[in-house]
Amino acid sequence: MRIALGISYGGSAYEGWQSQLSGNTVQDKLELALSKFSAQPVRVMCAGRTDAGVHALLQVVHFDTLLQRDIRSWVRGVNAFLPSDIAVQWAREVPDEFHSRGSAIARRYAYVVLESPVRPSVEAGRVGWVYRPLDSAAMQTAVTYLIGEHDFSSFRAAQCQAKTPVKTISRIDISRRTGSDSSCYWRFEFEANAFLHHMIRNIMGCLVAIGQGKHAPEWLDQVLAARSRDVAAPTFSPHGLYFLGPVYEDHFGLPARTAAYDWLP
């Protein structure tokens, strides 16, 4: 049968999602735990690969197995073999045609950024950081140029393996939560049919530059039209980037949230 799992993890200690020779990736840790639990090798496919330092509230994976276990045991049993910063949130039996990556109709990410004259401490690795104030109106205007179907080559990493740079962004929401007199937390939420490698981090670099007054909002439209990575701002830090999870059609019956959604600012 085919099993789907919802996974959450903190990415600070790992070299990203995708398996590496070092064995220090989220995929390596998950497959090792699954193999120990089932007493046979298990390989998984994921909904979206994340970079080193990037977290996930709802990564979704699938795998095939002949092992007959109560579906609930795939949560508690596998978690017994996982590090404390990786946890299976739920398990579901899914039809053979389900594919964690191929069946996803959209993907969602959030960036949490601390605006403060002092760098983060207890939030280190959990939030991005800017020490110059950000202009909400300028950034809100800028993101309107990105909505819809576009060639996002200007925001594509050189090592990106996507077959096409054309993607469709359906939503970018920007919100602000006031902290002390000199600090606040920003949340940037992105939803698209798919993302290129480093696409969100490169967009964030441009939005921060606009928010700090280094460029006018219209500059983002020029960057998009140039289709050249050379004209965009530097890639923003992975700290504070969260994979919120994929979106699937309702008939698969998979959860769309985990408890971590209520914790994230």
- Catalytic residue numbers read 51
What's CA 131's distance to the chain center, in Å?
Answer: 24
Q: Do 31 and 20 meet the contact criterion of CB atoms below 8 Å apart?
A: no
Taking the C-alpha atoms of residue 225 and residue 2, their distance in angstroms, rounded to an integer, is 43
d(CA 41, CA 2): 15
Give strand ranges (E) for the chain: 2-9, 45-46, 55-64, 86-94, 106-115, 128-130, 148-151, 166-178, 184-192, 241-247
**What amino acid occupies position 152?**
F
Are 55 and 244 in contact, with CB atoms under 8 Å apart? no
Could you tell me if 107 and 194 are in contact, meaning their C-beta atoms sit under 8 angstroms apart? yes
